[in-house]
Every structure is written in C-alpha cells, then in structure tokens.
Structure 1
Amino acid sequence: MKNTLKLLTIMLAGTISIAKAQDSLKNNQLTISSYVDAYSAMHNTQSPQTEFQPYTAVGARDNSLGVNIAQIGLNFENDHIRSEVIFHAGDIPLATWDSDYQYLQAANVGMKLTEGLWLDAGFFSTHLGTESFLPKNNNLSSIAVLTYNEPFFQSGAKLSWDATDALYVEGWVLNGYHSFVDNNDSKSVGVLVNYNISDNTSITYTNLYGRENDDDFPLKQRRFYHNVYLDQNWGDEVFLTIGLDYATQTNSNIDDIEDNATLFGGLVTARYQFNPKWSITGRGELINDESGFVTGLITDNSGAQRGLELFGATLGTEYRPVEQAYLRAEVRYLEAKDNLELFYDGEPTNSRVEFLITLGFEMEKVFGF
C-alpha cells in the first residue's frame, strides 16, 4: 500500500514538474476521474460470503452486497507528454490482481515521438480481449468466463500510431501474460490493430506471443494468443459484438506434454436500446481449453485432470437516467462439460445460475492550464 501511494505521488509530481519546467509545452490538461460500481449477487450454488465464486470477478460473493470496484484516476497530457495513474480497490482487484500491486490498476508515462506516434511505458490495462474487466465499459456488468481467463493487466511498453482516421495500431513489448513482474528471462510481444470499416462497423485484432514457463522448467512453453472482435451497430438502437479467441502453447498438451495445446472460445453480445434510458442485452459464450494451459487443470468426477470446457448465456437490462450512471439487472446460466463438477448445490454439479444487480457511477473533471 505504501509503495503504491509513493509511486502514484512520484509519477504525478514528476509529470507536473516537467510541464512547469518546459515553457515550450502548451495545452496542458489534467483530468481527475472516479468510478464506483456496487453490487448485489446471488448464486444457486452454495459457498460462504467470505469466498469468491469461481470463474467470475464481477459480483463474485454469493448472497452478498459488495463493491466490485472503486477507483480514482489522474491523467495528464499536453502536446508532448502524457501520464496516467489509476488507483483502485474492491472485489475485482481482490479476486484477480497481483497481490504486490493490488491497489494499482495502471501507472504509465508516454512521450510523443512524431505526429500520431507515441511511446508509453509502465503498467497498463490489457490490450487483449473483446470485453473489458470494468463493468462500465461493457453492455453487461458480468464478464464472460473467456474474459475472466484473459489478462486483466500488463507491464511493459507500447508504440501507438494513429495511421489514418480509420486505422489505429499498437505494438507491445511486455513482461508476460497477465503479469506485472516477469517469471522468466524472456519477454512477450503483441499487437492491436483497429480498423473502422464504416461509421457503423469496426474490427479489432489483438495478439500476444511469448514464453510463459519458469526458467527452471525443462521444456519451453511458448504461448501465441489471438483475439479478434467485430463491433456493428444499426443506428442508435441495435448493437452487436462478436468476439473470437484462439491460442496455442508448445509442450503443453495434457495427453502428450511434447505436443501443442490449443484453446478456443467466443462470445456474441447483442443489445437493443428501447429509448435513450432503457436497453436489453443478451450474450452467449463458450470456452474450450482441454489441456488447461490457460484456465488451469481441474479434477473431473473420474479423478482425471482436465482443462475447462464451458458454455453460458446471459440476459440483462440497463437503466441509465444520465450518461454517467447505470442500474443493471442480469441473470446468467453456466454449464461445464458433464464430468466437470465445478460447483456445489447440495451436491456437486456442473452448472450454476447467477443473479446480479449493479449500480454504477463515473465522473471526471478536466482542468486546462
């Protein structure tokens, strides 16, 4: 906690002092933002309120009132430099974040190299995935199990390029998959490419390639993770997102360690906006990681070790009285492969029903100097 506060103070003070020291820097802008999401969740499976439900980070405590996330952010930018620090707490970081940096969501600094080209380094939210881990950035508050197993955060450096009005590109060098501190002497590389086909249609491709095993592991396990998603809307009423993930990892197959393992998954989210305040959203999802190289190994009901195979469906509605606030209610059904009894409802079961209510509010204030 003390280290996090020191880092936040040093980065903000350093950024502002640079701006003050350079008379040539113009158009200084400091943005202070905040966001809170509170929830009430119930599951048909039984677990103590002190424990998190598996395979979810949003509304993760059963039969409980809680806070998914409470965050405050500082963002500075001018014509030449930019810096961001986001400090957070709540059940999402408790369930998923690196314990060494539990209260730090992001901390990075960037420099403009030339028009449209920036270099940034530090801690970031992940560039991978169709959904965000933050409820405010999605049409539903709950996240797909596929999203839960993608990275939430990353550490490294990126080059970002606004190539044209329609094309945006990022290149990344990172410590690894869902990590702030590297577990080996190898770095990972990745890209993000976003292309706006039209005002109503965009497609985004992201990937990450690197070695994920510890240095003392005898085999080299190199992971190549791909994600692609399409966003389509028809006016201000109908919105569609289709996301697909495919990953391979060398020397990781559960039946033959020297063979490659594969993961595939996807989600489809459709939203209908009745009016500016009310909408309804549905989502279908699946994930198949037979060798468990991303989701981890599970003991099935025969005693064998297998990876996660699961599908689910979610239906939710949202009310937005103002742009910055929302009230959502959702119901979700998850079902794993027959022999994967992941949950407990009086007896082991392979399915779970969830009911989630979330209330969120965000705001920001911009200062120019």
Structure 2
Amino acid sequence: MKIRKIAFLITFLFLWRGVMAQENSSSLAFSAYTDVYYSYFSNEMEPNALQPFTTVSPRSERFGLNVAQIGLAYDSQFVRANLILHWGDIAKATWSEEYNNVQEANLGFKLANGWWIDAGFFATHIGTESFLPKNDFLSSTAVATYNEPFYQAGAKLTYEGSDDFYTEFWVLNGYNRFLDNNNAKSIGVLFSYNFSENTSLTYTNLLGTESAEGSAVKQYRIYQNLYLNTVLTERLILIVGGDVGTQSNSKLPNMEETAIMYNALTTLRYLFTDKWSVTGRAEVFNDRHGFISGLIPTQNSGMQGLELWGLTLGIEYKPDPNSYIRGEARFLDLDDNAALFSGSYSRHKRWELMVTMGYQLDRVFGF
C-alpha cells in the first residue's frame, strides 16, 4: 500500500509539473527582414531625392535599401512585449523624426480570458495595405496608404477570444504621431470578422482633434477605413478597400466648413504556381481640400489638394516561402491642373518601375 501511495504521489507530481509548465510556458521570437531595390521614376528630381507619394523604393535610378529590421517578441500566459527596430528608405520617407529607428516598442498584460491591454509605440491599426512589402502582394503601396497613418503611440484593449471575431479599442496621441501636438487624445477601433476560412471584413477608424495646442481654429478629424479580403478560387485572391475622412474647419476656400476626402483600391492576385504570381491594382484618391495629403502646385501657379487615379502591375517569384523577387510598373495620373512632376514627360503624370527583393527570417525559442 505504501509503495502504491508513493507511486501515486510521484505520478501526481510529474503531472502537476507538466500542467504548470504548460500554463507558464513562454517564448521569445527573433525576426529579421530586409528588402532591397532598384527603381526608376519619370519625375526628374535631384540625385537621391525622395519621390513624393511613395513609401517604397523612393529614390530614382538608384540601388537602395527599403528596409533592414530586427525584432524581438516575448510571449507568455500573462505578459507579452514587442520591439522592432528598422533602418532604410521606408523609415526615411515615412517615419517619425523623433524616433526614426523605432518601428514598434510595446508591452502588454492579460486582463482576463481573451482580453489584453498593451501600451507603447505601435504600427498603425488603419489601412487596407501594410507599409512593409513582405505583408502585401505588391511592394509599391497605393497613394491612399502613403497618406494613412504609419505609426501611433498609445494604448489598446484587445479581445482575442473568438476564432471568427477580433477587436481592438485604441486611445492614441493622434493621427500618425508618436509625440502629440496637443493635449487632446484620439480614439479608434478595429473590428474584424471572418465569414469563412476564405473571406474576412475589417473596419477601422480614428477620431480626434488634429489642430495644434493653442490654435485659434479647432480641427476635428474622423478617418474611417473598410476592407475585404477573399479567396475567390484556389488561385485567385481579391482585396477591396477604401477610406473616408472628414475634418472640420478645413474646406477650401471657406475654411469654416468641414472638408471630406475619399479613396479606394482594388487588388487582384493570380497564382500560376506556388512560386509565380501576377498582381494588378487600381486606385483612386480624392483629397481636393488637402487636409490629409497637403496642397500641391497647379498649372496656374495656385495650390490645390491631391486628386488622382493609378494602375499597377506586378509579377512575383518566390524562391521559398520566406523570400520574393518582384518586378512592378505603376502609372499615376493626377488632376489635369496639377503641376507636381518635372521633366520632359508630364507635369501631372508619372511612370514608376521597380525591382525589389526581400527575405524574412523568424525563429521561436520556447522556455
């Protein structure tokens, strides 16, 4: 009998140790990513100048580095943390001057089953596309993506307890800001629902005061984004998205009225094989009052907001699941009155050609 009790006790201790180890298991993930490019733009600028309205491969007729980044992510039952540092032309063209090399730095704690709270520096929760080529079908990003926020500082409450539904509630310093320009805070949400394994719909928004502290004119901005991802067939994938934004005291020429902007894009990818694919994108962007995109020169020496449409065609070869080689061509056609571009081609049209190569490395260590 005594031997049985001892055997039972030993078995119980081993089982308890296994359960506790599983409950308290944690992991540390290391990631590294780089993307290099060569590009050409019909818009003529000074050597090494960054082309307007593009986040990727922005220097014309140059070999360049889009991004080199490293990251560490810690994850356990009750605590998680994330740090990503980056360098390259994407950071120079889009990122905060104060924290140019910090892509993300945040810490989170589990509050209850499925509920987490995180705070720090984050990549934006808004947008149909990512600013990183590895997360998109095309390396170049739509003009809408260029004008959406890239980064944000604040806190989020997340619910992750459902396989079909995911949501985030945000309190942030402001639109595309690490450091705030006023004492007000912005709020936002992300709702994502999976209708099936092949189709999901996501809605995001951001609401807040964007005028500087002490400004006589208060400008309140509402920015909303909606996008659909669906796998139409085994080889055909569709992404459709669009934004609508409003800002008070911003309409031209009557600055006391509310201005409105909108954009939309459609991306369609066809996979010939597991390694070869072709992607097309159509986009429109209309911010005639310039409260998001800023004002650009016109043919009659005036100023106006950005209005355009564009088409992009790209082909991709994936040597393995973590790497890619892409060739892309894009055409942008601005409003006929715009005079943004220079050179012999056109003042309101631009051709872009680029070749990009990227590789992503991920390693997870459990303990």
- Normalised to the residue count of structure 1, the TM-score between the two structures is 0.92
Match of 1:127 among 114, 125, 128: 125
CA distances 1:36-74 after superposition (whole Å, capped 9, x unpaired): 000000112212332001110101000000010000000
Distance 2:218 2:46 in 1: 39
Does structure 2 retain, via aligned residues, the 8 Å contact 1:25–1:80? Answer: no
> Counterpart of 1:355 in 2: which secondary structure?
strand
Q: Deviations over 1:102-143 (max 9, x none)?
A: 110000000000111000000000000000000000000000
Q: RMSD in angstroms over aligned alpha carbons?
A: 1.4
Match for residue 215 of structure 2? 217
State the match for 2:143 in structure 1. 145
Q: 1:321 corresponds to which residue?
A: 319
2:356 paired with 1:361: no
Distance in 1, Cα, partners of 2:90 & 2:345: 28
Q: Which 5+ residue runs of structure 1 have no aligned equivalent?
A: 1-22
Runs of 4+ off more than 2 Å: none
Q: Pick from 109, 112, 132: which aligns with 1:111?
A: 109
Distance 1:347 1:217 in 2: 42
> In the alignment, is the contact (CA less than 8 A) between 2:42 and 2:345 conserved in 1?
no
Residue 43 in 1 paired to residue 41 in 2? Answer: yes
Match of 1:9 in 2: none
> Which residue of 1 is the match for residue 4 of structure 2?
none
Q: Which moved more, 1:84-93 or 1:49-58?
A: 49-58
Report the Cα distance in structure 1 between the residues aligned to 2:57 and 2:362, rounded to whole angstroms: 25
2:97 pairs with 1:85: no
What residue is the counterpart of 2:348 in the other structure? 350
The number of equivalent residue pairs is 348
Residues 1:307 and 2:315 are matched in the alignment = no
Using the TM superposition, give the Cα deviation of residue 25 of structure 1 relative to its aligned residue in structure 2, in angstroms. 7.2
Q: Percent identity?
A: 46
Give me the whole-angstrom Cα distance separating, in 1, the residues matched to 2:186 and 2:32.
32
Question: Which residues of structure 2 form unaligned runs of 5+?
Answer: 1-20
Partner secondary structure for residue 148 of structure 1: helix
What does the per-residue CA deviation read over 1:134-183, in whole Å, with 9 as the maximum and x for residues that have no partner? Answer: 00000000000110000010000001102421110000000000000000
**SS of equivalent to 1:92:** helix
Distance 2:214 2:319 in 1: 55
Q: Which residue of 2 aligns with 1:100?
A: 98
Report the alpha carbon displacement of residue 348 of structure 1 after superposing the two structures with TM: 5.6
- State the Cα distance separating 1:241 from its structure 2 match: 0.3
Q: How does 1:1-369 map to 2 (within 5 A)?
A: 26-346=24-344, 349-369=347-367
> Counterpart of 2:128 in structure 1: which amino acid?
T
Could you tell me how far apart the structure 2 residues matched to 1:294 and 1:217 are?
Answer: 18
SS where residue 341 of structure 1 aligns?
coil
Secondary structure, in 3 states, of the residue corresponding to 1:146? helix
Amino acid at match of 2:300: S
Q: 1:310, 1:336 within 8 Å by CA — same for their partners in 2?
A: yes
Partner of 2:14: none
Change (3 A) 1:347 1:277: closer
SS across alignment from 1:94: helix
Separation in structure 1 between the aligned mates of residue 234 and residue 75 of structure 2, nearest angstrom: 31
Q: Deviations over 1:213-267 (max 9, x none)?
A: 1022111100000000001102431000000100000111011111000010010
**One-letter amino acid of the counterpart of residue 304, structure 2:** R
**1-side partners of 2:234 and 2:118: how far apart?**
34
Given that 1:121 and 1:157 are in contact with CA atoms closer than 8 Å, whether structure 2 keeps it comes out as yes
Q: What is the distance in 2 between the residues matched to 1:268 and 1:325?
A: 24
CA contact (8 A) 1:48 1:62 kept: no
Q: CA deviation at 1:347?
A: 6.8
